Structure formats: C-alpha cells, structure tokens
Structure 1
Amino acid sequence: MYEFATGVINVWEKKILSVLDQERMLKSPDRASAFMVLFDTDLGEIIAEGSQKNIEDIFSRDLNILKKKLVNILDDKKLLASFLFLKFDALNLKSALKKSFFGKETKNFKPFEFSLEPYKKVESFLKVLLDNNEKSNALTQHCDNFYVRRLVLEAIQILSSNKEDGQTMDSQMIETAVDRAYLKVRLAMAKKENALPEMVRLEIDVANLRSLLGKNSQPFLAGGNLASSQIEKLAQRKEEDLSDNLKIFLEVLELAFLLDEDHGRNTGIALEKKLDGYIAKKIFQKEKEKGSGIEKVLAFFQKKMNSYANIRLILFAKENNLPLEEIERALLPIA
C-alpha cells in the first residue's frame, strides 16, 4: 500500500534539512546567516516565492503543502494523513474549548490552517454539542472528518465527567482532557495498521511519564507498555525500589536513562528533551530496519517536525547570542 509513497519520499528526503545543513546553521555567525542556509533545503522555494521572513509562516505553508502531497501519494483512505495531522486539530480544539467556556482563546493563538478540519468548523461543532440542540446522528454535517469528530466528542465526555466529579473547570483541565482524548483516538486509529500500535503505546508511556515525573497529577492513561504502579515507582526516582524485571523492561524500551544516577538532578527541560527525542529515535530505528512502507512515511514526517523545532531553536539562539553548547544539547534528532 505504501510502496509508491516510499519512492516519492526517497526523492523528497534529499531536500529536507540535513545534519550538514543543521551544522552550517549552528556555525553561522548570526541569525541572518543561519536563515540563509534554509534556501538550500525544501523550505527555500517557499521563502523565495513569498519573500517570507517569518519562520512560523514558512512552517505553516510547508505543512499545508505537505498534507496535500501526502494525501495524494497515500492509498489508505487518508488514514495515515489523519494519524499524522490530528495533533493540530487537538491544538485547535484546546483553544476553541477555552473560547467556548471562558470567552477567550489561548493568548496569541493562531489556528493551524493545515489541520484536518478548519478551525471555524470545529467551533461550530462545539457550539452544537454544548447547546445540545441536535441528535448525534445529525452531527456529521458540522464536522466532516470522523477522527476529528471523535476527538471532540471524547474531550467533551472527559470534561463532563470531571465536572460531575466536582472538579473546577480551568485551562489546565481543558489541556489535559484534549491530550487524553487525542491519545485515545490515536490508539484507535493505530489499530487499523499493524505498524502503528507500538508507536502509540510508546507515546502513551511518555505521556504518563511526563505526568508523574513532572508532578502535574494527570490521571494514568491506559494503553501503554508500562503499568501505573511501574510508572509511580519511576516517579519516586529510587532505583532500589524497582524490580529487576522493570529495569530490564526499561532497557528494552530504551528508557533506561530514567535510571541514570543524575536523573534526580535533571532539570525539567532536560528531561522533557530526552523524552521528546526518545520516540523520534525509535521511529528512525524502525525505518532503518524496514527501509520502506509506512515506517518510511512516519520517519519522514518526524524528521520534518524535528527540523522545524531545531530551526526555530537555532534562529532564536542566534538572535539572542546563546552559547553553542546550550543549543546543541536541546536539539532533536533528525536522522
């Protein structure tokens, strides 16, 4: 099913930000010089066409183009494109919910135009749901994409349950509800393609680890590899309390860095970066093992997303004269 896409992506890959391009950006004396490196990548055409200088606008246009191109080369009824881009609908939903409940969107929020459903349609769908003025079988006209519909419905259900439990509605509750709904829908999507469930289970593990290690008290999310009791022991950061089986399991999952001696002294940002890079490395590893198919598509998309994050960081660092070693420590893998 993904053979044609593999061939096309092999061509696309030659133009995306490479490790060498990234090194050139890092060694550039200032932001302007670092920005010029992008003309040698696939972003160069976008910059040249619109004389774009705002990096977020460049990324937005690039992702819009990428979504359309992926839909054209993937013969899977838009399953993988929906799997990859649903995260942007989740971000749009967070802001739409805050506007619905508090009368204002996330500060400085700009809707993601490359989401699966337009932001305005999600707003309209939310209004119908919250007003309870239509039956569920009539809701499809307000939101075309099945997965986005399910995402919104799951988030509303979680928020309603929290309200019934006496919890006070606030911005953090909305963030948490959408994150949980997103992973639940993503896991359901993953079960339709054999290569995807392992990836989502790892994402759920990382989400649970972020929650407990960051001490933000989010409820445990089922569906990952690690049980609630295992993650709670990890959160205590006491290696002597961990069973040998759990240590072996962490090593197999390549999460053994959580047992490092300096783990307890790690800053929250450093740990977040390790967790961010963890899933990317697993995706790239799978691509190297398989070399084609759905693994190729996943790896290409992850490289694009990580390159955006790294470009953003390098340009910010150059603009603010941050030390090179600080930048390098925070970079995500792109190969």
Structure 2
Amino acid sequence: MSTPTLSAPTIEVAGLTKTYGSGRTARRGSRTVRALDGLDLAAAPGSVLGLLGPNGAGKSTTVKILATLSAPDGGTARVAGHDVVRDPAAVRRAIGYVAQRPVTDPMGTGRENLVLAGRLQGLGARDARSRAGELLERFGVAHAADRLVKTWSGGMARKLDVAVGLVHRPQVLFLDEPTTGLDPEARAAMWAEIERMAAGDGMTILLTTHYLDEADRLADQVVIVDAGRVVTAGTPDALKDGLRGDGVTVELDDVAAAAAAAPVAAGLPGVVDVVAEGRTLRARADAGATALPALLAALDTAGLGVRAAGLSRPTLDDVYLRHTGRSLEAAHRAASETAGSAGAEATEVAA
C-alpha cells in the first residue's frame, strides 16, 4: 500500500445515482435496474481506493461515470478538481482509464498501439515514440515491442492495456477489474506495478475488484459496495479489526443439513452472524477455540453430519458477510447466474 498525503481528495463522489432501463427503454418492456443508489466515496492523492463487490454491485457504473463515459441521474462527482458533468474535457485530460475489456489492436504491434495512444492524447510524433519506448521498458515487454499483440500472452497484453492508460501521465488512473483472467504470476506482476504507480508516481488509483486478496493487498481504503450502495468503508485493517472474535466455518452433508444447523449455532452462547450458504455454515464467535467444539457437539446431538470445520481470523469476506448477510463468493455467483439467465441485456445493465 502507498502512504497517502493529507490534502483535498482527488476523487469526490456524493449521492451518485444511476438507473438503467428507464424512459423510452422502459416503455418497450425492459426491466429497470437501480445501478447506483446514493453512492459516496473519496480518494486522497497518491492512494489506492478499492471498490470491492460482486458483478452488478455498481463498480463499473461508478467508473464509467467518473471517466465521463456515462452520465449520472443524480448526485455530484469531481475528479482532479473538475466536475464530471460540467467539465468533462478537463476530467478526460486528467485521467487514464483501463476498462475490463482489451482496448489495444491485436493486429498492431505493442509499439504501434502505444504510439497511436500517445498521438490521440496530443503528443507529437517524437514524444509519442519516446513515451512508448519508456512504457515498454517499464512494463517489461520491450522484447515483444514489435510483435503483433495477438501473439502476446494474456498477462503481457493486460500490461499493455495499462500502459495505454498511462501514456499521457494522468493524475488519476481507473483500473476496472485489471487482473481478471490472469494467472498468479501475471497477477503478482500487475500488483507490483499498481503499488509502484501509487507510491512511486503519486498517482491516485481507483481499483474495482471482486478479489478479496487484491483489495486487502493494494487498497489504502476499501469501499464495499452492494446493490449500488456503500455498505461499509475504511482501511482493510480497520474493517477487519471491527469484527469481534473468530470466523467459524462448518461444511455439512447437504444443503438441508446446513439450513437445519443455523438455528443450532445461533442458540449457542457467543456465536453470532450465523449464515447458511449451500452446504456451508458461517458464523462468528467471541472465543472460537471454545465455541467450535461446542458447536460440533451440538450438531452431533442434533444428528447433523459434519464434513469439515475450521477457524480463521477476520477477513474482508467476513466484513462483507457481516454487512450484507452473504459472502462475496455467494454474491458473485448469484450475480453471474442472474446475468446469465436474463441474457445479454441484463448483462449490460449489471455492468
């Protein structure tokens, strides 16, 4: 993590709202989805702000509004001191934006992609070539600079996407799910570069992710969003420290057994925040080492078979569970299933 400076926020969002499927679209029968419902957040200069939540939580919608790619229905948003609605041109000059999907031309070389991006950002031909060479070296892909991007690995291509976002040296960088689909080695390399951009370059970074370890590792501040709302926010350590006791996880024989185990667990002293998800029972306990044996004994007495059980210190998933009543994994799975069943239109709305 970086060490943010104490000054005015580089990103300020207050009461942001956005609804899809309204107006003429609604009259044609499309469903209405409230993507953002009064979202508030702020990011200090030189810090990483992590937006953590499942698909459909409103993360990408927030980034699109801040990048002036979508207009809000209500609320205010300022980036680098500029209002995103009143002065979008100034916002665009101050930001870099790395979307979920690739933005580079696979039929061009890495160098050609970066030079083109530089020219589009107003750099002269010489400066664009110089900046392209600098970024190719920085991201460790100079050896492939003159190969077509379609021949690059996924991790290399993702690095190129980020380099394109940096070509004009922005004050603020938006990274929308930057490591989705990358292998562990490529993810680690991307994490190192994000840390360097914030700590070394003093850049403000807004990072959207549904990876708990990514938010925990990189973010100075985490904002957990669900259904377009902020459910809690703070540093990763503060959010985890706000939970009392230990996490208790018990895997039972089947879904019915887990559902039956929930009231058994809730009836034990010191056991709180009990949730059954599939075959898994999750809870928190003031003294896990004492509570877990008592829980296992109570489940055995009730005739409920246990396959596995464990204790853990608080995690960001526990924080998400505490504030939403479900784990982030379950929320992500539910959002994916909803998008799939509703078809392409619902998938676009949820983004």
Q: TM-score, normalised by structure 2?
A: 0.31
**Which one has a larger percent helix, Structure 1 or Structure 2?**
1
**Which one has a larger percent strand, Structure 1 or Structure 2?**
2
> Which structure: larger Rg?
2
Q: TM-score, normalised by structure 1?
A: 0.32
